[in-house]
């Protein structure tokens, strides 16, 4: 066989292999995808939402925090995980309306452990740890009578709007999450001066605040464990049932003890569903104020 014929034969074989491989790839994509998840530790992502892609990846930085949560941070993580099921359905329902990846619901785990009454040393409040000015900027009322940073529905809507704005700014969820921690201006500045385009570029250069540099790996580690806690040694977790409630409008100034009695609720349960109310009266609002009351038939919007 001449050299020319050999080349033509090799080209023909290559074309046949390419076509066969391309055709079978469509059928084998799921198989290879699942195999890759097992090998790399990359968990299921909702491919219907393009914004979900590549949020959850497993690297050495993430593994460090998986180990931390399994060991020194075990008690915190176990408690947060037990509370997560109380709120996750409501958070994901709200996030879906803003086209935010469902995984980001677990950001509340690293922010507050799903604790609506959490307060940081910097006086950030609520499940989503809003600072005063940011909370006001996203429509939350904060005054003597009420602090809506502690209202898990109102604050989640505000967090969704804030996260959406950050994603529109950076077109990248890792950068958006980093900016949620340290501010968009800071992340923009670091990207510019370090001449990188993504979070991991900043991470590898070590040019972020320590807390911000650890924030994204911590979040990813939390998601990975939360999706399969038993695989990581978290057994016998007492998961809470999802809160089931509805919103009703009540007259401003009404006594909360009378309101809780009106809806056959204990005052303690009323306060759990309405942690934003700081005093003994329904907060002032034109036309009345919406509160949460128990309803076994519906879940929150």
Whether residue 201 is found in the same domain as residue 157:
yes
Are 102 and 213 in the same domain?
yes
Give the least confident one: 6-20, 138-152, 185-199, 287-301. Answer: 6-20
Same domain, 127 and 71: yes
CA distances for 32 relative to 36, 49, 59, 139, 287, angstroms: 6, 21, 20, 46, 57
Tokens standing for 106?
């677990």
Same domain, 77 and 206: yes
Tell whether 155 and 68 lie within a shared domain: yes
Residue 223 has pLDDT above 70, yes or no: yes
Q: Is 238 within a domain?
A: no
- 157-180: pLDDT as tens digits: 999 999 999 999 999 999 999 999
Domain that includes residue 178, residue range: 60-232
| Residue 26: pLDDT band with limits 50, 70, 90 | very low
Cα gap 91→28, rounded to integer Å: 34
Query: Which residues, 6+ apart, have CB-to-CB distance to 29 below 8 Å?
Result: none
Model confidence pLDDT, tens digit, residues 255-276: 999 999 999 999 999 999 999 9
Same domain, 137 and 193: yes
Give 292's strand partners: 247
Question: What pLDDT is recorded for position 4?
Answer: 47
Q: Write down which residue in 232, 259, 283 finishes a domain.
A: 232
Indicate if 29 and 67 belong to the same structural domain.
no
- Across all residues in the chain, what is the average pLDDT? 84
- Tell me how many domains the chain contains: 3
Q: How far is CA 168 from CA 147, 199, 242, 291, in A?
A: 28, 15, 31, 32
HSE-CB at 164 with a 13 A cutoff on CA atoms is: 14
Give the number of other CB atoms < 10 A from CB of residue 199.
Answer: 26
Alpha helices in the chain (DSSP H): 3-40, 60-70, 74-97, 107-112, 132-137, 152-170, 173-182, 184-194, 199-205, 210-227, 256-262, 267-273
Instruction: Based on the fold, state whether residues 86 and 219 are members of the same structural domain.
Output: yes
pLDDT band per the 50, 70, 90 thresholds, residue 66: very high
Residue 83 in any domain: the answer is: yes
- Position 18 confidence tier, pLDDT thresholds 50, 70, 90: very low
DSSP annotation of 253 reads T
pLDDT of residue 57: 79
Domain-embedded: residue 46: no
On whether residue 237 sits in a domain, the answer given is: no
Out of 206, 232, 258, pick the residue that ends a domain.
232
- Only one residue has tokens 């994901």, namely 92
| Residues near 60 by beta carbon (within 8 Å), at least 6 away in sequence | none
The answer to whether 291 and 272 are in contact (CB under 8 A) is: no
> 284 and 183, same structural domain?
no
At residue 56, the pLDDT reads 78
Q: Name the token pair of 287.
A: 């036309």
Q: What was the pLDDT predicted at 272? A: 94
From 208, 232, 256, the end of a domain falls on 232
What residues are paired with 281 via a beta bridge? 255
pLDDT at residue 295 in the model = 78
pLDDT at 43: 33
* Residues 88-133: tens digit of each pLDDT: 999 999 999 999 999 999 999 999 999 999 999 999 999 999 999 9
Give the tens place of pLDDT for each residue, 28-56. 223 222 222 222 233 333 333 434 446 77
- Cα dihedral value 103, 107, 113, 117, nearest 10: -120
Per-residue pLDDT of 140-150, as tens digits, reads 999 999 999 99
Is the same domain home to 213 and 251? no
Assess whether 86 and 32 both reside in one domain.
Answer: no
CATH code of 290's domain: 3.10.350
For residue 296, the model assigns a pLDDT of 56
Q: pLDDT tens digits for 228-245? A: 999 999 998 999 999 899
In a domain, 55, yes or no: no
Question: Is the Cβ–Cβ distance between 43 and 56 less than 8 Å?
Answer: yes
Q: Do 129 and 33 share a structural domain?
A: no
């Amino acid at each position: 066989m001449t050299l020319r014929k050999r080349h033509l034969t090799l080209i023909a074989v290559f074309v046949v292999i390419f076509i066969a491989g391309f055709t079978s790839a469509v059928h084998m994509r799921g198989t290879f995808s699942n195999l890759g998840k097992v090998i790399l530790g990359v968990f299921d992502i909702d491919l219907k939402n393009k914004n979900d892609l590549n949020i959850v990846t497993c690297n050495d930085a993430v593994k460090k925090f998986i180990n931390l949560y399994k060991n020194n941070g075990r008690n915190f993580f176990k408690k947060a995980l037990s509370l997560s099921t109380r709120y996750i359905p409501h958070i994901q329902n709200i996030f879906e309306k803003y086209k935010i990846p469902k995984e980001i619901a677990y950001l509340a785990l690293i922010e507050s452990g799903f604790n609506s009454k959490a307060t940081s040393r910097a006086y950030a409040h609520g499940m989503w740890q809003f600072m005063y000015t940011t909370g006001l900027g996203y429509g939350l009322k904060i005054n003597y009578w009420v602090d809506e940073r502690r209202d898990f529905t109102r604050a989640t809507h505000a967090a969704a709007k804030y996260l959406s704005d950050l994603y529109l700014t950076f077109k990248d969820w890792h950068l958006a999450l980093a900016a949620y921690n340290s501010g968009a201006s800071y992340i923009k500045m670091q990207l510019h001066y370090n001449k990188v385009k993504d979070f991991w570029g900043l991470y590898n250069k070590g040019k972020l605040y320590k807390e911000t540099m650890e924030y994204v790996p911590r979040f990813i580690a939390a998601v990975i464990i939360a999706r399969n806690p038993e695989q990581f040694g978290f057994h016998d977790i007492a998961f809470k049932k999802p809160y089931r409630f509805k919103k009703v409008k009540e007259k401003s100034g009404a006594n909360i003890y009378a309101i809780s009695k009106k809806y056959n609720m204990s005052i303690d349960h009323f306060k759990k569903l309405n942690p934003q109310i700081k005093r003994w009266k329904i907060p002032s609002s034109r036309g009345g104020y919406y509160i949460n009351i128990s309803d076994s038939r519906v879940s929150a919007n």
